[in-house]
Amino acid sequence: MKFICEKEKLLLGLNNVTRTSVGRTTTPILDGILITVKKDIIVLTTNDSEIGMEYTIEEVDTLEEGKAVVDCKMFGDIIRKLPNSDITIYINEKNLLVIECEGSLYKLSTMNAEEFPTLPTINVEKTIQLPQKVLKDMIKKTAFAVSIEENRPIFTGALLEVKESKLFLVAVDGFRLALRTTPVFTDSQDFSTIVPGKYLNEVSKNLLDEEDMIKIGITKNQALFEMHNCKVVTRLLEGEFLNYNNVIPKDKETRIKVNKSSLQSAIERASIFSISAGEKEKKYPIKMFVNLGNVIVSCTSQIGDAKEEVMVETTGKELEIGFNPKYMLDALKAIEDEEVYMDFGSNISPCIIKSTMEDKYTYMVLPVRLKE
């Protein structure tokens, strides 16, 4: 095999297929990248049996077709350091991968390309299509709530659900819940599946902030994400996800309408006292005292205390409630609206954050019990 490719194109492809699992497998070839050279294109493939990625680079000067497998990290590190110029890559008589660029010359040992696990052929059962930028935004604004605790494996994934011509993406970790929804205008059957959160984030890295479409195909235990020149296949999680509709409270005793940025800034300032410099492991909650017309945000620790006042529109009862500031801030940062509704039941009930205009998101944050 032999080809010439612009560094920028090759690097873009490498950045799209580099996985978080690189270096974590005991099978060397799974740490490799398969380079397949065809007429005018090269295809870069990575696959660790959990997630597989394939990226096609077009308008390549193909001198000889063929394929080779080299260490993914080493190959990527070399390409990133090379000058911004055309790169010539070929296999020499000793079966080494040769990389030439201006005055640079590198040789890498190769592995047997026939042993590399190419992406499986998936017989898709159900599919949907939507703009890439929409899915990217949904992942960004929910994935932070995916659990990283392996003791509840099902919550290390996000629920991808289609029903009533809408796509729902839901993440939960036991302390908060993030839900985003968008209309799906293409004909599609309803389905519900759970995608590992870490792999959903890998898909997001390949998505463009554009209207170009992405096609999602689902089988019993795998998902296929297809874009113009990129394909991602990931395994799915098995099990029963949380019934989020039953968990999110429908009743409320208190509702406030608040400027999102004002509340976010107040919590950010007050939470400076949440972690004490002398007690690195101890975290103090923020308190929110909801009055008729304002909310007092406060935090008290051994190094001092903070108090912030935010003007709001209040409906219902006054209330004092505590929260982990990180969970509240994660939710507020994921919202772009100028104003939001915040609904409360009691001081031991979750806070629900919703849009004041349309039903496009719901964030739920569980409270922290305050000491008397």
The CATH number assigned to the domain holding 95 equals: 3.10.150.10
Structural domain includes residue 241: yes
Structural domain includes residue 159: yes
Query: Looking up tokens 């990217």, which residue turns up?
Result: 136
**Whole-number pLDDT of residue 372:** 60
In the structure encoding, which two tokens stand for residue 205, read together?
A: 């890295």
Q: Beta strand 176-183 with 166-172: parallel, antiparallel or unpaired?
A: antiparallel
**Whole-number pLDDT of residue 66:** 97
- Regarding whether 358 and 260 lie in a shared domain, the answer is yes
Structural domain includes residue 254: yes
Q: Domain ends where: 115, 137, 159?
A: 115
Question: Rounded to an integer, what distance in angstroms lies between the CA atom of residue 350 and that of residue 175?
Answer: 9
**Whole-number pLDDT of residue 19:** 63
Q: Domain ends where: 193, 228, 245?
A: 245
Q: Which residues pair with 19 in a beta bridge?
A: none
Helix (H, G, I), strand (E, B) or coil at 106: strand
Q: Domain ends where: 194, 225, 245?
A: 245
**Whole-number pLDDT of residue 282:** 58
In the structure encoding, which two tokens stand for residue 233, read together?
A: 């296949």
Tally of structural domains, the chain: 3
Query: Looking up tokens 């982990």, which residue turns up?
Result: 324
Give residue-wise pLDDT tens across range 24-41.
567 889 999 999 999 999
Series of mean pLDDT values for 10-residue runs along the chain (372 residues)? 96 84 70 95 92 94 96 95 97 97 96 92 89 96 94 94 94 96 83 94 89 92 92 94 93 96 96 69 84 95 91 96 96 96 95 93 94 67
**Whole-number pLDDT of residue 23:** 55
Q: Which residues pair with 66 in a beta bridge?
A: 37
**Whole-number pLDDT of residue 304:** 87
- Regarding whether 200 and 184 lie in a shared domain, the answer is yes
- Regarding whether 241 and 143 lie in a shared domain, the answer is yes
Question: Rounded to an integer, what distance in angstroms lies between the CA atom of residue 3 and that of residue 54?
Answer: 18
- Regarding whether 298 and 360 lie in a shared domain, the answer is yes
In the structure encoding, which two tokens stand for residue 86, read together?
A: 């055309």
- Regarding whether 329 and 282 lie in a shared domain, the answer is yes
In the structure encoding, which two tokens stand for residue 61, read together?
A: 């000067």
pTM confidence score: 0.90
Of 265, 285, 263, which is closest to residue 276 (Cα–Cα)?
A: 285
- Regarding whether 168 and 95 lie in a shared domain, the answer is no
Q: Which domain holds residue 354?
A: 248-365
Q: Is residue 246 within 8 Å of residue 259, measured between CB atoms?
A: no
Structural domain includes residue 121: no
**Whole-number pLDDT of residue 280:** 54
Beta strands in 184-251 (DSSP E): 191-196, 213-218, 222-226, 230-235
* Alpha carbon separation from 326 to 146, 206, 308 (Å, rounded): 14, 28, 17
